[in-house]
Amino acid sequence: MLARREVLQKCLALGSIVIASDFSADSMLFAFQEGEKQKPKPTPPNPLGPFYKRLTPVNNILRAPGDPGLPLSLSGRVFDTRGDVVPDATIEIWQTNHHGLYDLDGYRYRGKQTVDTTGAYRFESVIPGHYPDKSRACQHVHYVVMAPGHKPLVTQLYFATDPAFEGDPQKNYAREPILQTPDLIRPVMLTGEPNEVHAKVRFELCLECL
Amino acid sequence: MNIKVAVLTLMCCLLVAASAQSDRQVRTINLPAGVTVQYGTMSRTGTLVATLDSDNVVRVWSTASGQLLRPLADGSHPPAGVEFSPDGRYLAVTFELVPNEKGVLRIFDVDSWKMEHEFIVPDAFALAFSPDNRRLALSGMVTQAWDVESSKMLADISPPFGGSSGLSFSPDGRWIVTADGDACARIYDAGSGKLRSRTEFLLEPMAAAFSPDGKSVIVGDNDKTISIIDPESGNILRRLPKQPGLILSLDVSPDGKQVAVIYGDANHFLTVDHLMLWDVDTGTVLANFQKRGITVLGGTFVGDHYQFAAVSANQLGVWSLR
Spans of all domains in chain B: 30-122
What sign results for the dihedral spanned by CA atoms A89, A36, A7, A20?
positive
Pairwise CB contact (< 8 Å): A52 & B267 = no
Q: Which amino acid is at B18?
A: A
Q: How far apart are CA B232 and CA B215, in angstroms?
A: 9
Q: How far apart are CA A78 and CA A193, in angstroms?
A: 31
pLDDT in tens, A79-138: 999 999 999 999 999 999 999 999 999 999 999 999 999 999 999 999 999 999 888 889
Is the separation of the CB atoms in B120 and B159 below 8 Å? no
Provide the 3-class DSSP secondary structure of residue A172: helix
Is the separation of the CB atoms in B202 and A53 below 8 Å? yes
Is pLDDT larger for residue A15 or for residue A124? A124
**Intervals of CATH 2.60.130.10 along chain A:** 71-207
pLDDT in tens, A170-200: 999 999 988 989 999 999 999 998 888 999 9
Pairwise CB contact (< 8 Å): B203 & A52 = yes
Write down the pTM of the prediction. 0.87
At B266 the pLDDT is 87
A132 close contact with B: CB closer than 8 A: yes
Q: What's phi and psi for A205, nearest 5 deg?
A: -120, 125
DSSP state for residue B46 in the 8-state scheme: S
Using pLDDT thresholds of 50, 70 and 90, give the confidence band for residue A30: low
Is the separation of the CB atoms in B189 and B180 below 8 Å? no
Q: How far apart are CA A16 and CA A37, in angstroms?
A: 24
Please tell me which of the candidates A53, A55, A104 has its beta carbon nearest to residue B266: A104
Pairwise CB contact (< 8 Å): A52 & B204 = yes
At A196 the pLDDT is 87
Which of B38, B180, B198, B203 is the mutation pick for testing A, counting most A CBs within 10 A? B203
pLDDT in tens, B228-279: 999 999 999 999 999 999 999 999 999 999 999 999 998 888 899 999 999 9
Nearest to A201 by CA among A131, B158, A190, A145: A190
Q: Is residue B2 pLDDT above 60, yes or no?
A: no
Q: How far apart are CA A185 and CA A194, in angstroms?
A: 25
Q: Give every CB contact of residue B190 below 8 A, 6+ residues apart in sequence.
A: B130, B135, B137, B145, B154, B155, B169, B170, B173, B174, B175, B176
Q: Is residue A26 pLDDT above 60, yes or no?
A: yes
Compute the nearest-CA separation of B180 from chain A (Å): 10
Is pLDDT larger for residue A47 or for residue A29? A47
What strand order describes the sheet that includes B102-109? B79-84, B90-98, B102-109, B115-122
CATH topology of domain B30-122: Thrombin, subunit H (2.40.10)
Q: How far apart are CA B224 and CA B228, in angstroms?
A: 14
Angstrom distances, CA of residue B200 to CA of A159, B158, B187: 33, 16, 12
CATH architecture of A71-207: Sandwich (2.60)
Pairwise CB contact (< 8 Å): B204 & A51 = yes
Q: How far apart are CA A109 and CA A92, in angstroms?
A: 11
Pairwise CB contact (< 8 Å): B162 & A132 = no
At B191 the pLDDT is 92
At A22 the pLDDT is 52
